[in-house]
Amino acid sequence: MPPVFLLMGLIDVWIPKEKIQKWLGKGSGLKGVLLSIGLGTLPTGPLYVAFPMAATLIKKDASIFNIALFLGSWGALKIPQLMLEASFLGVEFTILRFVLTLVALIIIGLIMEVMLKSEVKESLKENNV
């Protein structure tokens, strides 16, 4: 866990808020979606490591939709997991599960964006984040 906190501190200092808004904010479009999914599929660590990263991204005005995609991808679409799944269950099954999971994550992200937009902002203001 200490390396995660170190990484979060470095991201907080090294990556300005404007860059996060541009890459993962509301106007990021397809680029933000692909970046969120890419950041979520690459790591091999447990999901609890992703939550401090998501909190830092929310603090820097990343969209709820992209955060949901990031967390969902981290939990269900990791590349090492997909390779192991393909070797045991077959490539066709793995591709089908990947596509269906990705569609479900996009739907969940859209729902979360609509439902949580104001609540997250109010919570951040109350906690002086």
CB 49 within 8 Å of CB 39: no
- Please report the pLDDT score of residue 44 as a whole number: 76
- Please report the pLDDT score of residue 92 as a whole number: 97
Residue 98's SS3 state is helix
CA geometry: angle at 129 spanning 126 and 69, to 5°? 105
pTM for the model: 0.82
Return the number of other C-beta atoms located less than 10 Å from residue 72's C-beta. Answer: 23
- Please report the pLDDT score of residue 5 as a whole number: 67
- In order along the chain (129 residues), what is the average pLDDT of each group of 10 residues? 68 79 86 91 84 86 92 92 94 96 96 81 64
As a whole number of angstroms, the distance between CA 10 and CA 20 comes to: 14
As a whole number of angstroms, the distance between CA 31 and CA 38 comes to: 10
On the CB side of 76, how many CA atoms lie within 13 Å of its CA? 17
- Please report the pLDDT score of residue 10 as a whole number: 74
Token duo for residue 59: 């603090």
- Please report the pLDDT score of residue 100 as a whole number: 97
- Please report the pLDDT score of residue 91 as a whole number: 96
What is the residue-wise DSSP string for 2-39?
Answer: HHHHHHHHHHHHHS-HHHHHHHHSGGGHHHHHHHHHHH
